[in-house]
Structure 1
Amino acid sequence: MATYSTAKVGPEGIEFSFADSGAVAGSNDYTTLVIFHGSAFNSHSFHKLLPLASSHNLRVVVVNRREYRGSSRYTEEEITHLQEGRKLFLERIGLHVVEFLQYFAETYDIPKITVGKDKGGIAVMGWSIAVATVLAMLGHPDTIPKEYYERLEPYLRTAVLYDPPYHAFGYEITGDVDAYNPWTDPTIPTAEERYKTFQYWVSSYYSHPDIRSGSMRGLDYRHRTDQASIDNTAKEDMAMMYEESAAVRTDLHMVIEPMQPTIREQAKMALFNEELARTVLPDLRVVHVVCLQTHWHCIWGYIEAKKEYESCVAKGQKPRPFDFVEIPKANHFVHWDQPAEFLDAVAQAVTTFGHV
């Protein structure tokens, strides 16, 4: 069982609970992979990665986002901002992410980015809806002090977008398809019951025959499949890693109106704004990881993000550089079902960017 510590960051003293695999013995160029978990399933869902980290020259740090076990809860005022879709809510998330990364880099004296820019430093990962958490630190530069970015620049070299749903970018659904969505299922009367359905839907293994078409037609829209990660998860682990109340209070409002247009603007600024790509952490690279048997929300997020990036490049624009990494035979919980294979794919992606 992972041992958790508490970081108190920034002038507000916001607390983040985290577990750390520790410095890699004998290495002065290891990369620190900081992971922010998704909705309902907290950082314990990544604890299998910790004992595997050093073999990849990685230090893995798994963080409980605010509202989750051991980390600061949101105030009622902040929850109101979230429910109203206010930019201020995302700005504060971005500031606190930057403050945590600074805290960890400086407190634990981790290696800085190497001259070749392929080792050392920090790769910050968001899983699922927490991709919006990672993008928050890039999409609101006017609210994050310039010196914060300057202190972080010698460390932060990669942002890993791990299997994000289309909501993490604020994309819309296109085409006339009967796409199942647990958030809008009219047969589910309460938010709590939506999350009970969500457990099986989000952790199933799906079959998407053609993700190259650029269309939503032909994706797998089943409510769940015969094989789901949660079916093979011990009750003890579920008790540790599943926090329905935190998700209902916070994450549920991230994937619906009125926050979705605000998230859309954040993603455009963070990833595709040329001026910000040039001036805010200009050496930062982006790796978008998609699991090919994940649920359709993430497949659609991948299709749309790839399409938007390639469109920018075709027009001669210069967004943040992307690599797109596909993991076959993997679902949204590949880090739980196949931790060694997942960490191998991530380690390769963050150390061979642009050469994959």
Structure 2
Amino acid sequence: MIIHDKHPATILQSHPSESLTQSIDAASIGHAPPPNSWAPFFNPTIPEELQFPSFTQWVTGYFNHGDLSTRDPNVVSHVVPATSPIPSIYNMSEEEIARASNNPIGALDAAQMVFLAPHLLGAFRKACFDERIKQILPYMKISAFCCEHTGGYGPATLWDIEDEDKEHEGGHVKTRFIPQANHFTHWDDPNRALEVYLSCIRA
């Protein structure tokens, strides 16, 4: 939560603030994975010791999706990032990668999101839609955004949030896509990432 004057803002983001594993994907809000989803973690065709290195290269890529305004899961790219721009991690030194990643904790975080799904779903709905919370924090704004070149889990989960908002009569969560950005905008373009946060507070 970010406090600005008397207006708290809860921001649900498509990229992590500290590590490679904290992200708004379906599991982190207690939802089932989107159709055709894929990730290197828990993939039996990838040796266990290579799953996390594969994940860091995959998750920092730029994915080219189809027309996201259609909200069609079939236009979402899940597996192979684009060749340009190059993944964020290739602009980092080994020391920077070591500081930013948290293997083997990353795999543990992913497992926790899967097995704690009912609790995460309850927490998500309480934070976003519970009238008692709104009474306690009457000035709270909730924004969810997804960088449009994030992997397929990002757009799909933003649509899930929009659907949940609609089911609760709408107007609780402001959502949007950030153009020409990937899962790690705060690495590739920190100034722009900060501006996105500030725009959520000002909205």
Task: Tell me the residue number matched to 2:50.
Answer: 193
2:163 to 303, 307, 310: 307
**Which letter maps to 1:324?**
T
**1:232 matched to 2:91:** yes
How far did residue 260 of structure 1 move? 1.6
Cα deviation, residue 291, structure 1: 0.2
CA-atom RMSD in angstroms: 2.3
Aligned position for 1:349: 200
Task: Tell me: higher relative CO, structure 1 or 2? Use CA pairs within 8 A at least 6 residues apart.
Answer: 2
Whether the 8 Å CA contact 2:128–2:173 is kept in 1: the answer is no
- 1:310 and 1:335 mapped to 2: Cα distance? 30
TM-score normalised by length of structure 1? 0.49
Q: Could you tell me whether the CA contact under 8 Å between 1:204 and 1:229 is conserved in 2?
A: yes
Q: 8 Å contact 1:289–1:324 — kept in the other structure? A: yes
Q: Which amino acid aligns with 1:313?
A: E
What residue in structure 1 maps to residue 100 of structure 2?
A: 241
Please identify the structure whose Cα radius of gyration is greater: 1
Tell me: CA distance 1:170–1:282, structure 2 relative to 1, closer, same or farther (3 Å): same
Query: 1:252 aligns to what?
Result: 110
Identify the match of residue 5 of structure 2 among 115, 120, 133: 120
Contact 2:27-2:33 within 8 A present in 1 as well: no
Structure in which a larger fraction of residues adopt strand: 1
Q: Is the 8 A contact 1:210 1:218 kept in 2?
A: yes
SS in 2 for 1:265: helix
Q: Is the 8 A contact 2:145 2:175 kept in 1?
A: yes
Within 2, Cα distance between the matches of 1:303 and 1:189?
A: 33
Matching residue of 1:296: 152
Q: Which residue of 2 aligns with 1:105?
A: none
Could you tell me whether the CA contact under 8 Å between 1:180 and 1:223 is conserved in 2?
A: no
Count of residues paired in the alignment: 192
Partner of 1:268: 125
Match of 1:166 in 2: 26
8 Å CA contact 2:77–2:152 kept in 1: the answer is yes
SS at match of 1:253: helix
CA contact (8 A) 1:270 1:276 kept: no
Post-superposition Cα deviations, 1:311-334, rounded to whole Å, max 9, x if no partner, equal 3225xxxx7x32223210000001
Match of 1:210 in 2: 67
Query: AA paired with 2:99?
Result: M
Query: Which letter does structure 2 place at the counterpart of 1:322?
Result: V
Aligned AA (1:185): N
Q: Unaligned regions of 5+ residues in structure 2, if any?
A: 15-23
In structure 1, the residue matched to 2:176 is 325
Once residues 100 and 33 of structure 2 are traced to their aligned partners in structure 1, the CA distance between those partners, rounded to angstroms, is 30
Task: Tell me the CA shift for residue 181 of structure 1.
Answer: 2.4
Matches within 5 A, 1:21-170: 33=2, 119-120=4-5, 157-163=8-14, 164-170=24-30
> 1: distance between equivalents of 2:169 and 2:11?
20
Corresponding residue for residue 90 of structure 1:
none
Contact preservation (8 Å) 2:37, 2:153? no
